[in-house]
Amino acid sequence: MSKRKSNAAPATDDPPHLQPGSPIEISSNDPGFRGSWYTGVIVKRAPPRKPNNKFVVEYTHLFEDDDGTKPLRETIDAVDIRPPAPREKARKFKFSEEVDAFHNDGWWEGVITKELENGRFHVYFKRSKEQLEFGEDQLRLHREWIKGSWTPPLEEDDRVKKSKEAETEQKTETNKVGAQEKLELDNTASKRKLKSDLAGSEGKLESSKITKYGEGDRVEVTSDEDGFEGAWFTGTIVKAVGKNKYLFQYDSLRTDDDSDFLKEEFDALHIRPCPPEIVMADAFQKLDEVDAFYNDGWWVGVISKVLNSLPETKYQVYFKATEEEMKFKHSELRIHQDWINGKWVTASKVYHSYPSFHVFLDCVYVCWGSMDLGLHS
């Protein structure tokens, strides 16, 4: 009698998180899904019809049928797959921290804009320019999977460690099992993969404050087009062309025939005032979020390495959108700032104290947008 074959896919030479059956998080470049991660498992490596690095994945909370009985399966490139992001078991979140918020069955990247009572927070999402309310049990510190490790790494502080020790003592003395907090996420199973841009959420609090601009205002614009995400280009408002819509002229980009500077129309959600200058007397530090000047625009990235070179310090900057690293001079960088509800906010800076890798958050620097920015009511 022949032996029955196993249904499990065989192990491969791929990294541990790409082995069949491994839990993962999956990203997507589809419009409406950028900036989100969905949980799932690796099913198998995709058939090698041609050289590729793709895998068949099965989602945990997304389904192909209306009854929610058949988990959605897709073929995904390895660059859009990572291990499940770690999170502290207990953490106090703060204003301006970059976090992932669990929403519509996935983790969405945002920034805390307000601390509320009872452990709740307002979280602003840059891509959809929406603000929603979440409980701390629906949040985790935002981390990047870079070259096989998490940045910043998971680190429990002394408060958490002492709490664990006290809990262990109590269990020993009373012979009782202490109650453990469980993560309660509003993860109503999706019946199909939603084309979610956060706009239709019941938890929606408020739209971003729309800044008004006038002819001649100096501003920066951004685009959702592939290849331009995360970039801001400087220029001037030519005129208003409709409700919250403006004709913009670039400072550096030219028309195809090179006869004039390029003009394009943008809605107000893709326009912001030019950010105030923050003078950096000292060198930038590893993990500082910066804008790097490249190809006539400012591109958001994270300093991955400080290169001590003369006469000017240079840095290696990692760009999440393209998963590339490039070298820049100190003069080609600026501190990254976000224009949120009419004011400038810089993200919390994360530092590492080697060799213990203790992580702490620096104070927040807030620049109010109404100060000498030429805003119009």
Q: Which two tokens stand for residue 58?
A: 């099965």
Round to whole Å and give the CA distance between 238 and 251. 12
pLDDT at residue 313, as a whole number: 83
pLDDT per residue as tens digits for the range 218-258: 999 998 887 788 899 999 999 999 888 999 999 988 888 88
Residue 186, C-beta contacts closer than 8 angstroms, at least 6 positions apart: 102, 138
Range(s) of the chain covered by CATH 2.30.30: 218-273
Residue with tokens 């899904």: 33
Predicted confidence (pLDDT) per residue in 28-43, tens digit: 877 778 789 999 999 9
Q: 261: which 2 tokens? A: 């500077």
Secondary-structure class of domain 218-273 per CATH: mainly beta
Q: List Cα–Cα distances, 322 to 140, 158, 307, in angstroms.
A: 24, 37, 22
Phi, psi (deg, nearest 5) at residue 190? -75, 140
Residue 330: CB atoms within 10 A of its CB come to 15
* Closest residue by Cα to residue 250 from 293, 228, 218, 226: 218
b/e map of 253-287 (b: 16 or more CB within 10 Å)? eeeeeeeeeeeeebebebbbbebeeeeeeeebebb
**Could you report the per-residue pLDDT of 83-140, keeping only the tens digit for each?**
999 988 888 898 888 899 999 889 999 889 889 988 999 998 877 778 889 999 999 9
Residue 208: count other Cβ atoms within 10 Å of its Cβ: 17
What is the pLDDT at residue 227? Answer: 78
Q: What is the pLDDT of residues 125-157, one digit of tens each?
A: 877 778 889 999 999 999 999 888 898 888 654
| pLDDT of 169 above 80 | no
Q: Of 65-74, 190-199, 244-253, which range is least confident?
A: 190-199
Rama region for 5: left / alpha / beta (φ>0; ψ in -120 to 50; rest):
beta
239 Cβ contact partners less than 8 Å away, ≥ 6 residues apart: 215, 246, 247
Does 214 have pLDDT greater than 60? yes
